[in-house]
Structure 1
Amino acid sequence: MMPTTVDLQQKRCAIYTRRSVEQGLDHQFSSLEAQRAICSAYVASQQPKGWTEIPKHYDDGGQSGGNLNRPALQDLLSDVESGVVDVVVIYKLDRISRTLLDFVRLMDLFESFGVAFVAVTQNFDTADSTGRLILNVLLTFAQFEREISSDRLRDKFTAMRQRGLFVGGNPPFGYDLVDKKLVVNEPEAEVIRWMFRRYLEAKSYVTVSRELARRGVLRRSRVSKRGNFVRGRGISASSVWNMLGNPLYAGQVRNKGNCYPGIHDAIIPEDLWEDVQALRAKRTRAKVVEIYKTDLLRDLIYDGFGRKMGVFRDRRYREVRRYYISNQSEWGRRHGARRYRVKADPLEQLVLGSITSLLSNREQVRGLLLETGNHDGKLNKLCGAGDRIAKALESATPKRAQCILKALIERIELSSSWVKIIVRLSELPRLLQWDGIGLFRGDTIAWERSHQTTVIEIPANAVSMKRELTLLLKRRSAESAQLPNKHLVAMLDKARVAQAALDDRNVYTVTDLAMKVHCHPKRFTQLARLNYLAPDIVAAIRDGSQPAGLTCRTLYSVELPMDWALQRRILGFPDQPDFLRAAPGW
């Protein structure tokens, strides 16, 4: 009889390790390496079952277990979806997650891809029902431990504040932090005293802020915990409001609405503090502030430069007008990029109509579903549900419509000539299977991983720039030593004289105008055309930064179009971006 061999199915095991703090990661044998060594030994013991360790490391050092935003974990999940992992091995349950909700989502993901989950020190895996039961119980206790730790920290901070101690963070303006205690910074303390006294006189936060700016008062520069340098900036009106209400300056520490005597020295005397608080209370508006959170496209819109667009409400008119306006970034300030503004209602209707049109187009929906791998018998049923979902979206309340759009749309990009809607294809089949009950919620874990998208491009002029009187002029480079061409500059001056002659209504013929300017009639017509040069071309000539090949003969002989962009191309100037605006000192 011939001997028989049994081929065990090979199971590829990925080891995941995590450590909450970065301290000690550079040691010769760190906690991550210890976790990996224990897990490797366990995988080696399971070789008779066909287990083999993947050489790739999934190590998260200095990462919290309270969320799933961890580089190595996201890399592991991508490999799970790619089918290169059969078993996920960890040292202990709380190494992969400390929250029940995140862990349940991970288990659903592993189960959907047929991946087993093993915790070595707890001696169980998810291959059987008993392991899954114990896993859920232990995870519940892990979450309980995390909540208990949070409660302990909260109680500790409360006790510290009640004893008048500073709990940490950046010290407020007017104080230095020495040995974890607040010490008065006398130069800044003088500014604080002036602010309190000036507010009693001016009764205006804006006035105090403007006078501080005129005096050149800035917050101190500092280095953040991540090592980033934060430049000191001026004190805004909102900062003045916060500082005038901070009880630390009166020698007190606030905790949950109550104030306790602090161990640090006060900057403001008690009578001045009480007078300022009485004035602030008298000037407080006694009305409920409505917080708007139902704008359909909130947190979804970005302009053509990648800046997020927030919601602005203009209350100067009888009816409140809503706009989406670009948030100015440091890059935008440095490059002089103007902010985009678009009316909210027309844009929301445009996006809503585009999504409902997509859902109602059975042929287009079918093509998108095929791209996502939906080839089974449910394909026709999903395609037929598009009309029902489109009608539900049109008649939905703002909150329900916002949830659907936020799940289906990844982002919306705007420019002066188009609107691009980036749609998540992974959410399309889930939306088509939705029964319409409750709020439709997207799968946020799937969003964090790579996923397919499609782009809906709409040619629309929805964007308007922020209204400002600007000239598109560039700053002269300090490195440029080129002097203005005196012949070109004199020609521009003659063009101004020719324009003045044209404005004189007492002269009617070109010959008479040319005689007045002391030139030939043909030359007069050539000079008159130069008054229609683009402002940046004129500025470059007077500044001496024009292209080297630009001469008087060229300007006289060329047929100048009225379009400034064509003028630049003909004369050899670079294209002028439409987002540049004049900055102070330009």
Structure 2
Amino acid sequence: MPNPTETMTAVRCAIYTRKSTESPTGQEMTSLAGQRAVCAAYIKCQAHKGWVELSQHYDDEGFSGGNLERPALHRLLTDAREGRIDAIVFYKIDRLTRSLADFVRLMDAFQHFDISFVSVTQSFDTSDSMGRMVLNILLTFAQFEREMMGDRIRDKKNTMRRSGLYIGGLAPIGYLSKKGRLEIIPKEAELVRAAFDRFDDYPSVSSLLRALDDEGKGKLVSSFRFKTKRRNGLWYGGSAQKMFRNPIYAGYQYVDGELIKADHEAYISLERWQHFQAVLATRTKKSGKVDPSIHLLAGLIFDETDRILAPRIRGTKRWPQRYYESVSRQLRKGQRVDRVRIRGEEIEQVVSGALVAFLRDCEKLRTAVCRAYADPHLAYEMQRNGPLAAERILAAKGIDLRKKFEGLVSRVEVAKSEVRIWISLRVLDAYLRWNGIGLFHSMPEISRSEHNLHLLRTDAILGPHRVKLKLPFEHHPGEHLNKRLVDLLRKAANADVDFLADPTRDLDRHAANYKLTASKFSRLLRLNYLAPDIKSAILDGRQPPDLTERKLLYSPLPADWHQQRAILGFPTPKPDRTYQSVR
């Protein structure tokens, strides 16, 4: 008779440990080795269940539990995604995370990968609702402890600042920080005093600093301030640009928005510093008026922290790029969120595509319309107008599309994993009744309360998680026309006409006319032999999301249409489908 332990499936257990630099010294089990020893002993006690400790170490030393930016945790998640782990064991739940929001994301990820996680000192089972409730309670207290610790640290720093000490990072130019007190650096003092004395002689701070650098005074700046290579060999920028706005040089510093006298020697008087602020205020450029016919979602788009995403134009004059972006600011005391930046064309296409898909979807439109009409027959009549209303959005451009957004859309919210669009049901009613003549205007008397709104969700991913974030949207078939692919097909059709009209069929000469190599020109000609349904899908904007110009040109395309569809990711068409010509 076989031994049950021999046929038992092994449970691969990964041990995760973390030690924050904020952890009080002497606290029980704060060392990584101590945490690992306890977790390893626990796994040995579960050997009868088939538990086996993995040899890999996942140790994060010196990382806070307030976020997920930890290298060992990233490796742990990567191995979990690749199926190398069956269970995760840690000493205490706050070793994994102290943030309730991060815990929810981790729990969802572990459940998706079918991975259980165990706290050695806090017994719970994540497979039932009671265990998850206990976890949430434990994590709520862990997050409360972290916030209390942060409050105590901030209060201590503010108390030290109010007593005149300098609490911060690198001291401003002209000062050196020693045990919380600022001392003047004689070498840099010459540069700082020259900048303050000649402030009124130059139209801008940049021109003043550039003149000082031309005179060689920039060499007076101490080398320890440049942790990286100087940009273009210049010293000014960063803290130098902020020199004239910093009250430190007047012997003051900000504490909770209030100017407090500091305990160090000042370069200028407070009156002189206030004069600088008045002059700089007059030099500040006023932002131009937003053109709603260009920025179609201006005033309607926010991020998930309720910050408005303002329209901006970046890039060069020849190649400008439109963005919607937020400012990087503190939402509340001690908490900062990253800047969100999204391409204007992409988010506007996503919103219009979501509206069109909603109006074409009979079931979703019926559900929304029934909330506005008690009479089912009247709701059915309004639902029948959905496809025509969708075509009007597809055909709208510029100020016409802006008016439709302004009327239908109450709010667009960009989250980390989706875009949320709130539609006014009363305005939707008016839009479905509209005859399409003239510009569509919303009615100001319509209430925008929550019970009059319908929420649309569309998948999108914010990434990467850095200061400036972009939004690589997942394209929805049928709503996103790729102009580059269309132009490529048109170019291929023109090249085919020119090549066949030439009796010599000189490939090199025709390639030179199109400024291409002979190899690339021949690949361009191959596009004329694509399956008709592939061409039609590209012209209609129904191509797969990962289809690019490079993939279309350089994929090994056979003559067989079925193989072309399989290689490029197109579905097999229905037999009765008609096709659109490329030319």
TM-score, length basis structure 2? 0.51
Give 1:249 deviation, angstroms: 0.8
What is the percentage of aligned positions where both structures have the same residue? 37
CA-CA distance at 1:269 after TM superposition: 3.7
Match of 1:222, SS state, is helix
Please give the residue correspondences for 1:383-462 in structure 2 after superposition, counting only pairs within 5 Å. 403=414, 407=418, 437-438=454-455, 440=457, 458=482, 460=484
Partners of 1:56 and 1:445 lie apart in 2 by: 31
Query: Match for residue 424 of structure 2?
Result: none
Structure 1 stretches lacking a partner, 5+ long:
24-28, 300-309, 326-343, 363-386, 409-435, 463-558, 568-586
The DSSP-based 3-state class of the residue aligned with 1:123 is coil
Tell me the CA shift for residue 11 of structure 1: 2.2
1:48: which partner in 2? 48
The CA distance in 2 between the partners of 1:123 and 1:171, in whole Å, is 48
Partner of residue 143, structure 2: 143
**Please, which runs of 5 or more residues in structure 2 have no aligned partner?**
24-28, 304-310, 324-342, 362-386, 395-400, 420-452, 466-471, 487-508, 518-583
Q: Which residue of structure 1 aligns with residue 257 of structure 2? A: 257
Q: CA deviation at 1:194?
A: 2.3
Q: Distance in 1 between matches of 2:473 and 2:349?
A: 23
Distance 1:191 1:407 in 2: 51
Aligned to 1:187: 187
Which digits, 9 at most, give the CA deviation of each residue in 1:418-445, with x for residues without a partner? xxxxxxxxxxxxxxxxxx9546476869
Find the aligned partners of 2:17 and 2:173 in 1 and give their Cα distance: 42
Shift of the 3–95 alpha-carbon distance from structure 1 to 2, 3 Å rule, reads closer
Counterparts of 1:405 and 1:15, CA distance in 2: 29
Q: Give SS of 1:68's match.
A: coil
Q: Which has the higher contact order (CA 8 A, sep 6+)?
A: 1
1:266-415 superposed matches below 5 A: 266-280=266-280, 311-312=312-313, 323-324=321-322, 403=414, 407=418
User: What amino acid sits opposite 1:51 in the alignment?
Assistant: W
Distance across 1 between alignment mates of 2:473 and 2:57: 26
The answer to whether the 8 Å contact 1:66/1:99 transfers is yes
Does structure 2 retain, via aligned residues, the 8 Å contact 1:297–1:348?
no
Q: Aligned-pair distance for 1:147?
A: 0.5
Report which of the two structures shows the higher radius of gyration computed on alpha carbons. 1
Matched residue type, 1:122: Q
Separation (CA, whole Å) in 1 of partners of 2:64 and 2:473: 28
C-alpha deviation, 1:101, in angstroms: 0.7
Counterpart of 2:175 in structure 1: which amino acid?
Y
How far 1:118 sits from its partner (Å)? 0.9
Distance 2:512 2:288 in 1: 55
Secondary structure at 2:198 match in 1: helix
Q: Aligned-pair distance for 1:204?
A: 3.6
C-alpha separation in 2, matches of 1:444 and 1:562: 42
Alpha-carbon distance in structure 1 between the residues aligned to 2:416 and 2:75? 28
Instruction: Tell me whether 1:176 sits opposite 2:199 in the alignment.
Output: no
| 1:159 to 2:159 alignment | yes
| Residue 276 to residue 106, structure 1, CA distance change in 2 (3 Å) | closer
Task: Answer with 38-47 or 54-63: which moved more.
Answer: 54-63
**Conserved 8 A contact 2:176-2:182:** yes
Distance 1:404 1:127 in 2: 28
What's the counterpart of residue 235 of structure 2?
234
Looking at structure 2, the residues matched to 315 and 445 of structure 1 have their Cα atoms a distance apart, in angstroms, of: 25
Offset at 1:313? 6.6
Question: Is the 8 Å Cα contact of residues 21 and 63 (structure 1) preserved in structure 2?
Answer: yes
Q: How does 1:414-563 map to 2 (within 5 A)?
A: 437-438=454-455, 440=457, 458=482, 460=484
- Secondary structure of the residue aligned to 2:484 is coil
Q: CA deviation at 1:217?
A: 4.1
Partner residue in 1 for 2:549: none
Among 205, 221, 224, the alignment partner of 1:222 is: 224
Q: How many residues align?
A: 383
Distance in 2 between the 1:72 and 1:196 partners?
Answer: 49
1:133 matches 2:133 = yes
- Whole-angstrom CA distance in 2 between matches of 1:111 and 1:275: 61
Instruction: Map Cα deviations across residues 242-297 of structure 1 (whole Å, 9 max, x no partner).
Output: 31121111111222332222111111245533443454456667999999995999
**Within 2, Cα distance between the matches of 1:563 and 1:22?**
67
Task: Tell me how far apart the structure 2 counterparts of residues 242 and 298 of structure 1 sit (CA, whole Å).
Answer: 29
Asked if the contact 2:206–2:241 (Cα under 8 Å) also holds between the matched residues in 1, the reply is: no
1:281–1:566 CA distance, 2 compared to 1 (3 A): closer
- Superposition deviation, residue 566 in structure 1: 9.6
Structure 1 258/399 Cα, relative in aligned 2: closer, same or farther at 3 Å? same
The CA distance in 2 between the partners of 1:349 and 1:254, in whole Å, is: 41
How many angstroms does 1:104 deviate by? 1.4
1:246 aligned onto 2:246:
yes
Q: Offset at 1:169? A: 0.4
